């Protein structure tokens, strides 16, 4: 996607007429956070790889541009299918402007170190939801034997990489993915302790195994990678986006709608559904879909003894941080009081002033904690989306609010949700995309 296109999207807004229940069926998109590292991992093989169920979103378009920029053939071959052929990698310097668009650009560092032995990367961009450390990435690369110089850019050379026992000082998803990709072609055994084990990390590991990598410990927080000489090509289908599924469950519940979400992986929903049950949200589950029945009575479930309950995020399998904003918005429509405890990112809750302006009763205690009391009657408002997940939360609030709302900077939402306006219209939502 060109810079002109990005600027064009930045000028778009959503206009939403709220107060209408959603009805119908919708299919979950491929996981954004699974597609991005898997696209980067295609650098590890010189053979062709075809990927299916790839979400056609802004961040994926940027990753494809980054691959093309370093000489890799990466193209859409279908609505949600991408072919990558990294027969040659012509550049080891990542483009600064492209990298500034998203944090996931740093996922190319591990594969480049393993494949070509050198990489020059600028600091990545991404949502401003708090400090997002690169320290675990740099530590992992250094432990594997990379020589690293840090200035305006991160200059790394990995000519003598070797397997190593690595302990990550935080269970960082991207650092785990970077370490796994670098270790896949590194001689010897690499053990990653305190590894992240989110569904998209598992998907990356299984994808690499399908190309010939040797990885043990998937679903746990200790991964063992036995380096191989080369990987081959293959086909892979990106797993469903459990964050999008959770977002749609929330949309259906707070609008009083009847929505069925197809293509889900039930194992990825365990902590999400458990968290939503604290608001009284009920779903019907089958093998590959969930249904949100209509006209649910949302009531906060107090802890034993009548104590105020809380939802707190954390590394998998805890409640996902990416759904904290959505859960908080559901809480505004549930009878009772609940504490939202966002432990991972200190700026994640700063969007709550937008909901307060709509009529929500929220006390922001500090950057990490908010007390929400509901139900509150929300009124349409004009807002700006500061990041992907806050944008989706504002979309939820707008769809259940009285009157019209306008959400600006919807490119933020487009970074994580494919054609969200079109798909919500198919459920009966009154939402239009306009140029400002």
Residues with a catalytic annotation lie at: 127
Q: Which helix (H) or strand (E) holds 143?
A: helix 135-143
d(CA 196, CA 170): 9
123 CB burial (10 A radius; 0-12, 13-18, 19+): middle
DSSP, collapsed to helix, strand or coil, labels residue 319 as strand
> Is-contact 147 103, C-beta < 8 A?
no
**Closest to 282 measured CA to CA, from 341, 330, 336:** 330
Counted residue by residue, the chain has a size of 436
Give the DSSP letter of residue 402.
Answer: B
d(CA 283, CA 278): 13
Contacts of 304 (CB under 8 A, 6+ apart): none
Backbone angles phi, psi at 138, to 5 degrees: -65, -40
- Beta strand spans in 258-414 (E): 258-262, 284-285, 289-292, 310-312, 336-341, 361-366, 369-374, 382-384, 404-408
d(CA 113, CA 182): 7
């Amino acid at each position: 996607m060109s810079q002109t296109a990005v600027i064009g999207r930045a000028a778009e807004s959503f206009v939403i007429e709220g107060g209408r229940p959603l009805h119908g069926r919708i299919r979950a998109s491929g996981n954004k956070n699974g597609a991005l590292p898997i696209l980067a991992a295609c650098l590890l093989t010189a053979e062709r790889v075809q990927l299916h169920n790839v979400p056609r979103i802004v961040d994926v378009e940027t990753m494809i541009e980054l691959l093309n920029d370093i000489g890799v053939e990466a193209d859409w071959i279908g609505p949600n299918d991408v072919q990558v052929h990294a027969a040659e990698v012509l550049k080891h310097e990542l483009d600064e402007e492209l990298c500034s668009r998203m944090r996931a650009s740093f996922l190319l560092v591990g594969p480049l170190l393993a494949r070509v032995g050198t990489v020059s990367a600028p600091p990545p961009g991404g949502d401003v939801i708090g400090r997002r450390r690169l320290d675990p990435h740099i530590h992992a690369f250094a432990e594997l034997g990379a020589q690293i110089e840090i200035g305006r850019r991160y200059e790394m050379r990995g000519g003598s990489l070797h397997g190593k026992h690595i302990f990550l000082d935080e269970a960082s998803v991207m650092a785990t993915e970077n370490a796994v990709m670098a270790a896949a072609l590194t001689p010897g055994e690499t053990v990653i302790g305190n590894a992240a084990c989110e569904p998209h990390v598992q998907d990356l590991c299984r994808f690499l195994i399908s190309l010939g990598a040797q990885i043990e410990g998937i679903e746990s927080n200790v991964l063992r990678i036995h380096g191989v000489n080369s990987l081959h090509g293959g086909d892979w289908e990106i797993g469903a986006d459990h964050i999008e599924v959770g977002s749609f469950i929330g949309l259906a519940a707070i609008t009083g709608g009847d929505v069925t979400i197809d293509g889900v992986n039930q194992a990825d929903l365990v902590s999400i559904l458990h968290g939503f049950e604290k608001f009284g949200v009920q779903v019907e589950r089958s093998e590959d879909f969930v249904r949100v029945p209509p006209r649910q009575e949302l009531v906060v479930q107090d802890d034993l003894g009548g104590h105020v309950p809380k939802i707190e995020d954390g590394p998998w399998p805890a409640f996902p941080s990416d759904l904290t904003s959505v859960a908080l918005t559901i809480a505004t429509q549930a009878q009772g009081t609940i504490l939202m405890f966002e432990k991972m990112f200190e700026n994640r809750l700063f969007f709550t002033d937008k909901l307060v302006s709509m009529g929500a009763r929220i006390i922001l205690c500090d950057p990490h904690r908010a007390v929400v009391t509901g139900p509150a009657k929300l009124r349409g408002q004009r807002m700006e989306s500061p990041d992907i997940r806050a944008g989706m939360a504002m979309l939820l609030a707008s769809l259940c609010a009285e009157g019209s709302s306008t959400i600006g900077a919807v490119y933020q939402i487009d970074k994580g949700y494919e054609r969200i306006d079109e798909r919500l219209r198919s459920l009966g939502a009154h939402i239009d995309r306009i140029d400002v």
